[in-house]
Amino acid sequence: MFRYTCLNPISQKGLELFSDQYTEVKELAAADAVLVRSAKMTELEIPDSVLAIGRAGAGVNNIPVADCAEKGIVVFNTPGANANGVKELVLAGMLLASRDIVGGVEWIKDNQEDPNIGKLAEKQKKQFAGCEISGKKLGIIGLGAIGSMVANAADALGMEVYGYDPYLSIDAAWNLSRNVHHSKNVEEIYEQCDYITIHVPLLDSTKQMLNEEAISKMKEHVVILNFARDLLADEEAIVKALQSGKIKRYVTDFANPVVAGKKGVLVIPHLGASTAEAEENCAIMAVKELRDFLENGNIRNSVNFPNCDMGVCKGRSRVAITHRNIPNMISQFSKILGDEGMNIADMTNKSRGEYAYTLMDMEAEIPGEAIEALESVEGVSRVRVVR
C-alpha cells in the first residue's frame, strides 16, 4: 500500500491512474509520494518518510532539489508535458504586445452603454493600431521543450527566428526548423531582435540574466516576453527601461508588486500551463513516473538522480539504494550481501553528478540485518526494499 499527497490540485486524469494499492492522504508527514505544481516546497520541512516528489510541470525551483538528493528523495518533473500550452500563450503574448487588443477591449467595455458605440469605435480605433509580427526578428533564449516549439511556430508565422542555447539537447536540435538562425552568443539576440523571449530554467547561472547590461545591448522599442520565471529578469531595470521608451512592452506570466499595474507591462497570472491538456499531460506523466519508482524502483525524468530502468522485478526481491557517487560503493554492497550468502541476480548502478543509484534483484529475500548493514555504509542515504 502506498500513500500520496497533492500539494496543489492535480488533474483527475492523472490521479485515476493510481491503482487500488494507493490512497490519498492530507498530511505530508503521512505520504510516501508527493504530487505538486507550483507550491513552495522550499518553505516546508520535508519529512524523511517521503520517498519521491512528482512535479506535474517543468520548473523545479519551488522544490529543494539538492536537499532532496542528499536525503535520497527522488524528484521528478514532466519534461515537455505542458510545452504546447506555454507556446500558445507566448504567441498570444507576442500578438498582445504588438497590437493594443487589451486597450481596445477595455475601451469597448468603458463605452458599452453608448448607443453609437459602432460609429464611435470606427473613429477611435486608430489609437489601438499596432504592427504585425511577420517579418520581425524573434530571439529565443533557451531552446528546450518550450523554446523549440515557439521557434517553429514563429517561423511558420513568418518571423525571422534567432535561437541561443549553449546546452541544446540532440532531441531539441532535431525538432528545430532549419530556418532558425543559430546564435552562438546571447549578445546577438540582444542586438538583433525586435522580440526576445526567454525559456531557460531558473538557476544560479540564469538568475537576473535580463539585467540592465543586457537591456543596454537591446534594440530600441524591443518587446521582452518572460514565461519562464520572474527572477530571470531584473524587473526594476525593465520598468525603468519601459519608462524611458527603450523597451516597448514587457509581457510576463508572473505577477509581483514590481510589475503589476506598471505602464507597458502585460501581466498574466501564471497561465502558461493552465490548459486542460497541459494539466492532464503533466498529471499523467507524473503519476506514471511515481508509480514506476514506488512499485519497481525505476527512475525516469528525475532532476536529481540518474535514469535507471530494470523493468519489473523477476527475482525474489529488489533493493534500491540512493547514495553518493564515490568509489567502492558497489564492492561494499556486494560484500554485505555475499556475506549473508545472497546471490545478486541482476543489478544496475547509475550516477549523476554527486549522486548515484543502485538497483539489485536478489534470488532470495533480503534479511533485515543485511538492510541495516547496507544503510550503515558511509555515503548511503536510503535503502528501500522495493519488493
Ligand X SMILES: O=C(O)C(=O)COP(=O)(O)O
Residue 93 interacts with ligand NAI (CB under 6 A): yes or no: no
Minimum CB distance to ligand NAI smaller for 14 or for 144: 144
Q: Which does 74 bind (CB under 5 to 8 A by kind): ligand X, ligand NAI, none?
A: none
The torsion of the CA quartet 233, 239, 245, 249, rounded to 10 degrees, works out to 60
Residue 52 interacts with ligand NAI (CB under 6 A): yes or no: no
- Position closest to ligand NAI via CB: 144
| Block residue for cell numbers 527566428 | 161
Strands 33-36, 52-55: parallel, antiparallel or unpaired by DSSP? parallel
| Block residue for cell numbers 498570444 | 92
Residues in contact with ligand X by CB under 6 A are 37-38, 57-59, 82, 270, 272-274
Q: Which does 96 bind (CB under 5 to 8 A by kind): ligand NAI, ligand X, none?
A: none
Residue 165 interacts with ligand NAI (CB under 6 A): yes or no: yes
Minimum CB distance to ligand NAI smaller for 72 or for 85: 85
User: What are the distances in angstroms from CA 56 to CA 7, 14, 42, 294, 375?
Assistant: 11, 10, 16, 17, 31
Q: Which does 7 bind (CB under 5 to 8 A by kind): ligand X, ligand NAI, none?
A: none
Q: What is the tally of helices (H) and strands (E) in the chain? A: 13, 16
Residue 192 burial (10 A CB sphere; 0-12, 13-18, 19+): middle
Q: Which does 332 bind (CB under 5 to 8 A by kind): ligand NAI, ligand X, none?
A: none
Q: Which does 38 bind (CB under 5 to 8 A by kind): ligand NAI, ligand X, none?
A: ligand X
Q: Which does 37 bind (CB under 5 to 8 A by kind): ligand NAI, ligand X, none?
A: ligand X
Cα–Cα distance between 88 and 153 in angstroms, integer? Answer: 9
Could you give the count of Cα atoms lying within 13 Å of 201 in the half-sphere of its Cβ? Answer: 16
Yes or no: say if 229 and 59 are a contact pair by the CB < 8 Å rule. yes
Minimum CB distance to ligand X smaller for 59 or for 379: 59
Residue 72 interacts with ligand NAI (CB under 6 A): yes or no: no
Q: Which of 325, 316, 317, 319 is nearest to 297 (CA)?
A: 319
CB of 234 to ligand X, least distance (A): 20
Yes or no: say if 50 and 33 are a contact pair by the CB < 8 Å rule. yes
Site string for ligand NAI, 135-154 (x = CB under 6 A): ------xxxxxxx-------
CB of 60 to ligand NAI, least distance (A): 8
CB of 231 to ligand NAI, least distance (A): 10
Residue 161 C-alpha cell reads as: 527566428
Yes or no: say if 282 and 86 are a contact pair by the CB < 8 Å rule. no
Residue 229 interacts with ligand NAI (CB under 6 A): yes or no: yes
Residue 100 C-alpha cell reads as: 493594443
Q: Interface residues with ligand NAI (CB under 6 A)? A: 57-59, 79, 82-83, 86, 141-147, 164-169, 172, 199-202, 205-206, 227-229, 253, 270, 272-273
